[in-house]
Homo-oligomer: A and B are copies of this chain.
Amino acid sequence: MRRLREITNNGNIYVGLVHYPVYDRKGNIVATAVTTVDIHDIARSAKTFDVKSFYVITPLESQGQLVRRLLRHWIEGRGATYNPTRQAALSLVKVEESTEGVVRDISRHWNSEVQVVATGARSKRGNIGYDQLREMLSEVSQPFLLLFGTGWGLTEEVIRDADYILAPIEGSHYNHLSVRSAVAIILDRLLGRG
Contact = CB atoms under 8 A, between A and B. Distances in A.
Interface of A: 7, 25, 37, 40-41, 44-45, 47-50, 83, 85-86, 88-89, 130, 169-172, 174-178, 180-185, 188-189, 191-194
Contacts of A89: 174, 176
Contact of A192 (B7, B47, B170, B180): B170
Given A188-B169, A193-B170, A177 B50 contact: no
B169 A47 contact: no
B40 A174 contact: no
A194 B171 CA distance: 8
Given A7-B171, A172-B50, A192 B185 contact: yes
With most chain B CB atoms within 10 A of its CB, the pick from A7, A44, A169, A184 is A184
